[in-house]
Chain A
Amino acid sequence: MKFEAVIGLEVHAELATATKIFCGCATKYGAEPNTQTCPVCLGLPGALPVLNEKVVEYCLRAGLALNCRIADFSKLDRKNYFYPDLPKAYQISQYDLPLCRDGFLTLASGRRIRITRIHIEEDAGKLIHSPEGEGYSLVDYNRAGVPLIEIVTAPDLATPEEAVEFLEKLRGILIYLGISDCKMEEGSLRCDANISLKPAGAKHLGTKTELKNINSFKALGRALAYEIERQSELLAEGKTVKQETRKWEEAKQRTLPLRSKEETQDYRYFPDPDLVPIELDPAYVAAIAASLPELPEARKRRFIEGYKLPEYDADLITGSKHLADFFEAVLKFYFSPKAASNWIMGEVLRLLGEEGLTPEALAVNPAHLADLLRRIDAGEISVSQGKTVFEKVFRTGASPEEIIRAEGIRQISDEARLRAVVAQVLQTYPQSVHDYLNGKIKAAQFLTGQIMRETKGQANPQLIKELLAEELAKLRP
């Protein structure tokens, strides 16, 4: 039997605010344990929460960018459960009246993935499990109270690829909005997935499992693919899928059931009496909507129409806000869109890849790349010289001018001088000339290489190509 997957995602994104959601503690990542805590986020008796206005604003930004309805009345609720990383034994979250609901995100295929809700809530602390047999855990509450938005999709995703695309697109949007840095490796973007299978074409949903501990886009795709296979096998054998929470094990590339307590969770949600309702002024919401930056989709269209970039280029570059910003900054200094796009998709991504860096880490001054492009266009240096120079720009931050001067890089375009070099090389390698004249076109490459060597790589390649062709033609019998 053929099965279809039904996938929904629950995404938590840490908001890039300066302070926590209910207190003035800093949210800086990587601080020494328990140095960013106070009576409020430690849940000390008597301490009270006061909501950070930026958290509401950021959640609205996300909601508006994802086509949500903004609630005119919203409130905060307590989700009660006991765990050492949860200082108050309840998480302040939103239960039945989230700030945003009923939005969607469109995939490249044009499929709309519905977003059921987006709400605000506080993060828990971090548990450090002690080495085996030590019998305790350590708790760091620096992260306790860091603001999150939770984005919940409808079960509209049909394949692991779609799920990954959704998450990548979502990440791009959140970064464009400037509300989260979305670093999965630092946990500022986290994703749980619900997945069930049903016979192809069937209406009813199968039993779903919830997948946790997905720490990268790759892991999301693999965990879902694994789960589809596992569930298919079960169903094919006539067995049933157990409703449970499973953990993705990166090392073994498999999902395993999380050791679950017998007790079913009963979170006893109720409105937090320490906080008051949120009733947003429509004018305020409208102002936030008006202030939204251009989002990836619109930027892509603009790149295609305004800069005449191919769709492929536009899609790739606008996929990262940093790359797209870099691209446009380069154009400010030297307007040559397709060349800039080629360099970014080629050299920039290649060098980043070699260093294992993401585009966010790109430190090249856009004026430097622009300068390089201008020099190439002017024939001052060749493309391949340009690549050598750019690699140095990338690694040292020095300007192309400095590098070119220090290394004496230039391009020889003096025709008479180059013609002499060509003639000399043809004399030195009669065999290659012979080969070429007898139809071995490849011999020209060798000859070009020798000319380049003679000129220390500075010969204008275009000119050499022309001169070599001319000189060889003269030798034809």
Chain B
Amino acid sequence: MELCDLTLHEIKDLFAQKEVLPSMVMASVVKRIGEVEEKLGAYLALDLEAALAAARAADDRIKAGRALGVLDGIPVAIKDNLCQAGRETTCASRILQGFVPPYTATVVQKLLDQGALILGRTNMDEFAMGSSTENSAFKPAKNPWDPERVPGGSSGGSAAAVAAGEAIAALGSDTGGSIRQPAAFCGVTGLKPTYGLVSRYGLVAFASSFDQIGPLAKDAEDCALMLSAVAGFDPLDSTSVRGTPVDYTQELDRELTGRTIGLPREYFGEGLDPEVRRLVMAAVAQLEDLGARVVEISLKMTEYALPVYYLISSAEASSNLGRYDGIRYGRAAAGREDLAAYYTRTRAEGFGPEVKRRIMLGTYALSAGYYEAYYQKAQQVRTLICREFAEAFRVVDAIVTPTSPTLPFRLGERLTDPLAMYMSDVCTVPVNIAGLSALSIPCGFARGLPVGLQIIGRPFAETTILNIAHQYQKVTGHHRARPCGTGHDRAEQEGGSPDEV
């Protein structure tokens, strides 16, 4: 196994033993990027020179035993919607092409302060709108387990990069499942923190009341380390929650005895791939074996989550994306004679079809005469969804569901059907609606493709869901499978060849 296929915590231990230096890990990652990036399209921009220079500085600190933090010398990737001063930030949109922020997002600053090596900026669906990374204006990213399939989205680039060893860990953002669904599709672990836990300052907004930044990594322990590094109160974000810093690894080793896990029957209904169901149920059995008590629960509001999510997120997006007019930044249409025509041309040329669709939907939902029927109604149902989760969490410590009802689909397969694409998020959006914590871990392979298990926790109960995930990963090996440059070949995974679909 190459260094780039190791986990963050394994590398951190090797650093501690002074057996390995950051430059060596960087070399391995750079080599892997050279081998697979062209095929996968995980990155929109690489910043290897800066990362290599940072690695040499980290070498000295590691050698001197003066690491800045657990992330010191660790090569990480960040999604292209996180601002970093001096680095072009495009959100995979033509309209932001050439935009170089004069400031750095709080989370990126935290990574830099702890000595992390920022490899580059990962591919995504334009403005994080999508579930396949096909909406990137520049190129689609591919699934490392099968490059003919999508890596999920919108943080598809981050998920693919981590899965393929093009980064040790990565940051993504999750508005309706954009960390968890690609994590599931790429066979990595992805965590969406509770709304308010991680500062959004510097995250280019899609839907402000849902957006959260979180880690994609090779296992739950790595997610816990990454989360510990980026979580915490930020005075620059009014929706950031005050609290003392938490070590999210603290409960990893707790036994599951005494934990109650809920299985909501609404998530196992129509549209669920039988293979996905089988693997998820096997994982649930495993959790029971580990001592957890599993109870069936009902979340009747689930079927309303998708419309609630799409109406509110599109409404917020339509407003958040009004600022792209080419005057202060980003691409502008030629000719400035007529104000209205200028705006329209700039935006019509700059935004891709899915972004336009959401802006349209959101504008419609907020416009005079429709506000009550759509936006306000969705907000009221949002209240009911929140209440239902709160009720459920009086009985259970965590809720387990599939992350995605289907296996990674083929590129182009759902592009022409927005509604079918939206269905990809059916299991993940309720979590964002209620602002809960949730993660996705690999729970096996079907037809050679990874399947994800979603573990949903109470608000600010990240330690609980990380504990459940870690206990599961201690006794299973799905998270150790690697798609690229390893002895693990797809054929070795259960379920046979992906071409048997």
User: Which residues of A line the B interface, CB within 8 A?
Assistant: 39, 42-51, 78, 80, 82, 84, 87-90, 135-136, 139, 261, 266, 268-270, 273-276
Contact = CB atoms under 8 A, between A and B. Distances in A.
A266 B375 CA distance: 15
A270 B366 contact: yes
Contacts of A44: 83, 101-103, 328-329
A175 to B, nearest CB: 31
Nearest to A82: B343
Nearest to A43: B323
Nearest to B366: A268
A78 B101 contact: no
Contact of B89 (A43, A45, A276): A45
B91 interface: yes
Given A50-B238, A84-B327, A273-B208, A45 B367 contact: no
Interface in B361-387: 363, 366-368, 371, 375
Contact of A268 (B102, B238, B329, B363): B363
B339 interface: yes
A256 B238 CA distance: 44
Contacts of A90: 319, 322
A88 B323 contact: yes
A87 B328 contact: yes
Nearest to A37: B328
A135 B235 CA distance: 42
B99 interface: yes
Nearest to B103: A39
B239 A274 contact: yes
Nearest to B204: A45
A90 B209 CA distance: 17
A270 B319 contact: yes
26 contacts: A39-B101, A39-B102, A45-B96, A45-B101, A46-B81, A46-B89, A46-B105, A46-B202, A47-B202, A50-B236, A50-B237, A78-B319, A80-B322, A80-B366, A82-B340, A89-B319, A89-B325, A90-B319, A266-B368, A268-B318, A270-B316, A270-B366, A270-B375, A273-B209, A273-B316, A276-B239
Contact of A88 (B101, B322, B371): B322
A47 B83 CA distance: 9
A219 B340 CA distance: 32
| For the complex of A and B, 10 pairs with smallest distance between CB atoms | A89-B322, A273-B208, A273-B209, A268-B366, A45-B204, A46-B202, A46-B83, A46-B204, A43-B323, A88-B323
A30 to B, nearest CB: 22
Contacts of B238: 48-51, 274-276
Nearest to B102: A39
A204 B343 CA distance: 41
Most chain B CB within a 10 A radius of its CB, from A50, A136, A139: A50
A49 B325 CA distance: 20
A268 B205 contact: no
Interface string B312-332: 000110110011010111000
A46 B101 contact: yes
A88 B325 CA distance: 9
Interface in B210-259: 235-239
Contacts of B366: 80, 268-270
Interface in B64-81: 81
Nearest to A89: B322
Interface in B235-287: 235-239
A34 to B, nearest CB: 10
Contacts of A47: 103, 201-202
Interface of B: 81-83, 89, 91, 96, 99, 101-103, 105, 200-205, 207-209, 235-239, 315-316, 318-319, 322-323, 325, 327-329, 336-337, 339-340, 343, 363, 366-368, 371, 375
Classify the secondary structure of A's interface with B: loop
Contacts of A136: 336
B314 to A, nearest CB: 12
B328 A135 contact: no
Given A84-B339, A273-B209, A276-B238, A45 B327 contact: no
Contacts of B203: 46
Given A90-B322, A268-B366, 7 more contacts: A45-B323, A46-B201, A48-B201, A48-B237, A136-B336, A270-B319, A273-B239
A83 to B, nearest CB: 8
A87 B323 contact: yes
Nearest to B237: A48
Contacts of A39: 101-103
A281 to B, nearest CB: 17
A89 B359 CA distance: 13
B121 to A, nearest CB: 13
Interface centre among A46, A49, A82, A270 (most CB of B within 10 A): A46
A268 B364 CA distance: 9
Contacts of A266: 367-368
Contacts of B201: 46-48
A132 to B, nearest CB: 14
A311 to B, nearest CB: 50
A80 to B, nearest CB: 5
A269 B328 CA distance: 24
Contacts of B91: 45
Contacts of A84: 325, 327, 339
A49 B235 CA distance: 10
A345 to B, nearest CB: 50
Contacts of A269: 366
Nearest to A265: B368
A46 B96 CA distance: 12
A118 B397 CA distance: 46
A421 B203 CA distance: 91
Contact of A45 (B83, B339, B340, B343): B83
A226 B425 CA distance: 61
Contacts of B205: 45-46, 274
Contacts of B101: 39, 44-46
Nearest to A80: B319
Contacts of A273: 207-209, 239, 316
Contacts of A49: 238
A82 B325 contact: yes
A45 B99 contact: yes
A66 to B, nearest CB: 28
B377 to A, nearest CB: 13
Contacts of B237: 48, 50
A139 to B, nearest CB: 7
Q: Which of B101, B105, B323, B375 gathers the greatest number of chain A CB atoms within 10 Å? A: B323
A425 B81 CA distance: 96
Nearest to A141: B328
B327 to A, nearest CB: 6
A55 to B, nearest CB: 14
Contacts of B329: 44-45
B434 to A, nearest CB: 15
B127 to A, nearest CB: 10
B73 to A, nearest CB: 27
Contacts of B81: 46
B103 A50 contact: no
A165 B105 CA distance: 50
A46 B339 CA distance: 25
A407 to B, nearest CB: 61
Nearest to A49: B238
Contact of B336 (A80, A135, A275, A276): A135
A27 to B, nearest CB: 19
A92 B238 CA distance: 14
Nearest to A51: B238
A269 B365 CA distance: 11
* Most B CB within 10 A of own CB, among A78, A84, A273: A273
A278 to B, nearest CB: 11
Contacts of A89: 319, 322-323, 325
A75 to B, nearest CB: 12
Contacts of A268: 318-319, 363, 366-368, 371
Contact of A42 (B99, B208, B328): B328
